[in-house]
């Protein structure tokens, strides 16, 4: 069913399309492309949920003003659900994973086979972190390395060293403070706001149903790359929210990417997505390339690591169908599974979902990433970007350990990360190069805000509206 | 050259150290921890360089072990400390399998 919605009453008298209603002229829609596929896409692909959300400029202050970054830390980061780790980071009771956001730090730990908690990572004596940032381990107590105060796995206070000197410390009042924890699709989310809506309410029923369909709990992290980016965290996020930039920034991709006819959707306040069809020519390049060119220049993404076969168009074949069939065979072989019922679109297309504020999920098969962006607490012009590639768990049911993060230096190419597909690494480098210029350009600009397209940049506006909601709550 | 320094000590049948298992041993008076991470064997000092506590109950990760007491992590291949509160490395020892026995050079 088409769930496309438009705000009524904004059509003008001259019968021109309402704002946000225009689509790339002369090109099939993403839904048209998907509907022509041999193996039918699931319902969560065959739906639309666009909404026009205004066309005012967005103030540039929010990207360049350190005071805005401080405000974000005191407001939105304390009230939103954030992806802290995957369940496979802490598979056993006593396993823990330290998640930091800004100046905040949490020990996310499995206290029982089916219970995970997140403790504020600070000793209640004089404040020392109980575990160093960015670490994992296993323990049956959290003991401070300074004076030895300790807490049991369940967060209750275990020992005050020289208790005789602390008659004013009642262990009952010294349990480790907690953030809320919820799990979905193998992801562990935390929220500092004890009165926040549940994660299901935060996502909304439609997106919860998408999550349930993806079964991402049956995947594991096989590659994890982290790099500091030279820009405000929101600029980095917004660079990945649209395919509008593909033709100029990633011309090598455009030959096999329906960029200008990608589909954009918004869901409630916290989730948006695009579907960017692959194996089809960019509308910018109509008439300039053949189906053979599309096939030849298809960017393999993760599947490059699996090794591709010979590409041949055959008689009356389309590049999109040839690639779908080829991917099906490659992934069936690599994972020893039957993918005959998996749609061509799921095998090929780029599905990019954002869970506000800082997580991207790509539930497709050839591009199976998770992105996470976090502000650098010491510099609003920097942020930490992580890309995690996920694959189905082996058919024997074993769960490989999640890959260790490869931490690139600022000056390194993404292509230098062992295991990174060269084509994909080059794309990320192109994005990074833009971002330093954008950060500097916004600071140099005489224009007070950024201007957005009504359709192709709707995710940016939707994201910025959510920023506003948390940073400037209504009185 | 002291020939004893080049002598491997046969310590354990390889079958007794399956993937992701650990085994504390005393070899020539030294506390050693044998680790098997996904089939890769490591022999390291069983003493945390931060607080002298044993590492044997520590979690094994992809190439690291975490001290269960305060969370210091060490690279299993080099012994280098990977995070606070440790800053000094732990000793590592050459390990090999000969005739299905694990041997350590101490």
C-beta of residue A272 within 8 angstroms of C-beta of residue A241: yes
Instruction: Supply the pLDDT for residue A4.
Output: 43
Distance in Å, alpha carbon of A247 to nearest chain B alpha carbon? 39
Query: How many domains, chain B?
Result: 1
Chain B positions contacting chain A at CB under 8 Å are 38, 50-51, 57-59, 61-64, 66-73, 82-85
**Stretch A328-335: mean pLDDT:** 83
Enclosing H/E stretch for B22: strand B22-27
Question: CA B25, CA A197: separation in Å to the nearest integer?
Answer: 52
Question: By percentage, how much of chain B surpasses pLDDT 90?
Answer: 93
Place of tokens 């510099």: A379
Judging contacts by C-beta atoms under 8 Å, the chain B residues touching residue A148 are none
Burial class (CB in 10 A: 0-12, 13-18, 19+), A15: exposed
Determine the residue of chain A that is closest to B67 in CA distance.
Answer: A137
3-state secondary structure of B6: helix
Flag if A138 and B58 touch (Cβ within 8 Å).
Answer: yes
Structural domain span for residue B83: 3-105
Judging contacts by C-beta atoms under 8 Å, the chain B residues touching residue A95 are 59
Question: Which among A410, A42, A58 is positioned nearest to A226, based on CA atoms?
Answer: A410
| Closest CB to A135 among B57, B62, B66 | B66
Enclosing H/E stretch for B36: strand B30-37
Determine the residue of chain A that is closest to B58 in CA distance.
Answer: A138
Flag if B58 and A137 touch (Cβ within 8 Å).
Answer: yes
Q: Per-residue pLDDT tens for B2-34? A: 555 579 999 999 999 999 999 999 999 999 999
- Confidence band (pLDDT; 50, 70, 90) for A399? confident
Question: CA A399, CA A52: separation in Å to the nearest integer?
Answer: 43
Instruction: Supply the pLDDT for residue A299.
Output: 66
| Closest CB to A95 among B59, B64, B85 | B59
Q: Per-residue pLDDT tens for A224-283? A: 999 999 999 999 999 999 999 999 999 999 999 999 999 999 999 999 999 999 999 999
Mutate to test the interface with B, among A139, A150, A394 (most CBs of B within 10 A): A139
Which domain CATH number covers B36? 2.102.10.10
Residue A68 has pLDDT above 60, yes or no: yes
Judging contacts by C-beta atoms under 8 Å, the chain B residues touching residue A134 are 83
Q: Per-residue pLDDT tens for A83-117? A: 999 999 999 999 999 999 999 999 999 999 999 99
Question: By percentage, how much of chain B surpasses pLDDT 70?
Answer: 95
Judging contacts by C-beta atoms under 8 Å, the chain B residues touching residue A404 are 61-64
Flag if A401 and B61 touch (Cβ within 8 Å).
Answer: yes
Place of tokens 């670490």: A135
Q: Residue A424 is encoded by which pair of tokens?
A: 């994909």
Judging contacts by C-beta atoms under 8 Å, the chain B residues touching residue A92 are 59
Flag if B83 and A139 touch (Cβ within 8 Å).
Answer: no
Chain A positions contacting chain B at CB under 8 Å are 92, 95, 130-132, 134-140, 143-145, 401-404
Neighbours of A312 (CB within 10 A): 10
Question: CA A388, CA A216: separation in Å to the nearest integer?
Answer: 13
Instruction: Supply the pLDDT for residue A393.
Output: 87
- Confidence band (pLDDT; 50, 70, 90) for A308? low
Flag if B85 and A134 touch (Cβ within 8 Å).
Answer: no
Q: Residue A381 is encoded by which pair of tokens?
A: 């012009």
Respond yes or no on whether the N-terminal peptide bond of residue A299 is cis (omega within 30° of 0).
Answer: no
- Confidence band (pLDDT; 50, 70, 90) for A9? very low
Place of tokens 């921890």: B33
User: What's chain A's length in residues?
Assistant: 475
| Closest CB to A139 among B61, B68, B83 | B68
Mutate to test the interface with A, among B61, B81, B87 (most CBs of A within 10 A): B61
Distance in Å, alpha carbon of A131 to nearest chain B alpha carbon? 6
**Stretch A12-23: mean pLDDT:** 83
Enclosing H/E stretch for B26: strand B22-27
Mutate to test the interface with A, among B59, B64, B82, B86 (most CBs of A within 10 A): B59
| Closest CB to A401 among B62, B66, B83 | B62
Question: CA A19, CA A454: separation in Å to the nearest integer?
Answer: 7
Flag if B71 and A135 touch (Cβ within 8 Å).
Answer: yes
Residue A6 has pLDDT above 60, yes or no: no
Q: Residue B37 is encoded by which pair of tokens?
A: 């991470």
**Stretch B46-70: mean pLDDT:** 97
Question: CA A106, CA B87: separation in Å to the nearest integer?
Answer: 22
Question: CA B10, CA A4: separation in Å to the nearest integer?
Answer: 71
Q: What is the average pLDDT score of chain A?
A: 93
- Confidence band (pLDDT; 50, 70, 90) for A302? low
Instruction: Supply the pLDDT for residue A296.
Output: 85
> Can you name the residues that pair with B92 across neighbouring β-strands?
B44
Pick the more confident residue, A336 or A286. A286
Q: Per-residue pLDDT tens for A338-363? A: 888 899 999 999 999 999 999 999 99
Q: What is the average pLDDT score of chain B?
A: 95
| Closest CB to B66 among A137, A145, A403 | A137
Residue A331 has pLDDT above 90, yes or no: no
Residues 6+ apart with CB under 8 A from A173: none
Question: CA A25, CA A412: separation in Å to the nearest integer?
Answer: 40
CB pairs under 8 A between A and B: 53
Instruction: Supply the pLDDT for residue A2.
Output: 41
Residue A303 has pLDDT above 80, yes or no: no
Sketch the domain layout of chain A as residue ranges. Answer: 30-61+215-471, 82-195
Flag if A135 and B38 touch (Cβ within 8 Å).
Answer: no
Kindly indicate whether the domain formed by A82-195 is annotated with CATH number 1.25.40.10: no
Q: What is the CATH number assigned to the segment(s) A30-61+215-471?
A: 3.90.380
Flag if A403 and B62 touch (Cβ within 8 Å).
Answer: yes
Instruction: Supply the pLDDT for residue A7.
Output: 43
Secondary structure (H, E, C), chain A: CCCCCCCCCCCCCCCCCCCCCCCCCCCCCHHHHHHCCCCCCCCCCCCCCCCCCCCCCEECHHHHCHHHHHHHHHCHHHCCCEEEEEHHHCCCCCEEEEEEECCEEEEEEEEECCEEEEEECCCCCCCCCCCCCCCEEECCEEECCCCCCEEECCCCEEECCCHHHCCCCCHHHCCCCEEEEEEECCEEEEECCCCCCCHHHHHCHHHHHHHHHHCHHHEEEEEEEEEEECCCHHHHHHHCCCCCCHHHHCHHHHCCECCCCCEEEEECCCEEEEEECECCCCHHHCCCCCHHHHHHHCCCHHHHHHCCCCCCCCCCCCHHHHHHHHHHHHHHHHHCCCCCCCCHHHHHCEEEEEECCCEEECCCCCCCEEEEEEEECCEEEEEEEEEEEEEECCCCCCCCCCCCCEEECCCCCHHHCCCCCHHHHHHHHHHHHHHHHHHHHHHHCCCCEECCCCCCCHHHHHHHHHHHHHHCCCC
């Amino acid at each position: 069913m088409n769930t496309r919605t438009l705000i009524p009453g904004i059509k003008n008298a001259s019968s021109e399309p309402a704002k946000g209603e225009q689509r790339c002229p002369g090109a099939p829609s993403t839904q048209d492309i998907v509907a022509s596929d041999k193996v039918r896409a699931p319902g969560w692909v065959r739906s639309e949920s666009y909404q026009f959300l205004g066309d005012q400029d967005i103030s540039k202050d929010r990207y360049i003003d350190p005071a805005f970054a401080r405000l974000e830390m005191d407001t939105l980061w304390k009230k939103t659900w954030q992806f802290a780790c995957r369940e496979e980071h802490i598979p056993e009771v006593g396993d823990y994973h330290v998640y930091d956001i800004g100046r905040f730090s949490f020990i996310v730990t499995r206290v029982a086979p089916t219970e995970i908690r997140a403790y504020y990572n600070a000793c209640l004596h004089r404040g020392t972190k109980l575990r160093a940032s960015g670490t994992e381990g296993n323990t049956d107590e959290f003991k401070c390395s300074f004076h030895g105060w300790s807490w049991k796995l369940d967060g209750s206070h275990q020992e005050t060293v020289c208790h005789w000197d602390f008659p004013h410390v009642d262990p009952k009042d010294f349990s480790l403070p907690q953030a809320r924890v919820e799990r979905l699709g193998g992801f562990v989310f935390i929220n500092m706001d004890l009165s926040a809506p549940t994660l299901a309410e935060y996502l909304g029923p439609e997106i919860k149903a998408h999550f349930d369909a993806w079964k991402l709990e049956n995947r594991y992290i096989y590659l994890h790359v982290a790099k500091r980016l030279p820009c405000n965290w929101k600029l980095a996020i917004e660079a990945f929210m649209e395919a509008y930039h593909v033709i100029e920034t990633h011309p090598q991709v455009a030959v096999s990417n329906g960029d200008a006819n990608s589909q954009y959707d918004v869901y409630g306040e916290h989730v948006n997505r695009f579907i960017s069809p692959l194996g089809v020519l960019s509308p910018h390049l109509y008439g300039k390339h053949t189906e053979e060119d599309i096939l030849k220049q298809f960017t393999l993404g993760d599947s490059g690591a699996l090794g591709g076969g010979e590409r041949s168009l055959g008689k009356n074949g389309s590049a999109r169908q040839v690639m779908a069939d080829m991917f099906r065979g490659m992934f069936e072989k690599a994972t020893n599974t039957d993918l005959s019922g998996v749609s061509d679109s799921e095998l090929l297309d780029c599905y990019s979902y954002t869970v506000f504020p800082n997580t991207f999920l790509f539930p497709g098969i050839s591009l199976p990433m998770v992105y996470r962006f976090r502000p650098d607490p010491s510099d609003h012009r920097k942020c930490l970007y992580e890309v995690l590639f996920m694959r189905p768990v082996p058919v024997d049911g074993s769960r490989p350990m999640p890959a260790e993060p490869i931490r690139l230096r600022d000056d390194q190419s993404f292509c230098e990360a062992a295991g990174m597909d060269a084509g994909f690494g080059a794309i990320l480098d192109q994005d990074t190069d833009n971002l330093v210029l954008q950060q500097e350009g916004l600071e140099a600009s005489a224009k007070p805000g950024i201007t957005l397209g009504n359709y192709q940049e709707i995710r940016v506006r939707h994201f910025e509206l959510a920023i506003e909601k948390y940073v400037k709550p209504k009185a | 050259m002291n020939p004893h320094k080049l002598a491997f000590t046969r310590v354990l049948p390889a079958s007794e150290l399956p993937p992701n298992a650990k085994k504390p041993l005393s070899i020539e008076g030294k506390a050693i921890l044998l680790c098997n991470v996904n089939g890769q064997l490591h022999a390291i000092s069983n003493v945390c360089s931060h607080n002298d506590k044993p590492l044997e109950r520590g979690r094994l990760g992809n190439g690291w072990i975490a001290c269960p007491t305060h969370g210091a992590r060490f690279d299993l291949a080099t012994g280098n400390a990977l995070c606070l509160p440790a800053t000094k490395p732990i000793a590592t020892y050459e390990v090999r399998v000969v005739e299905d026995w694990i041997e350590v050079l101490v």
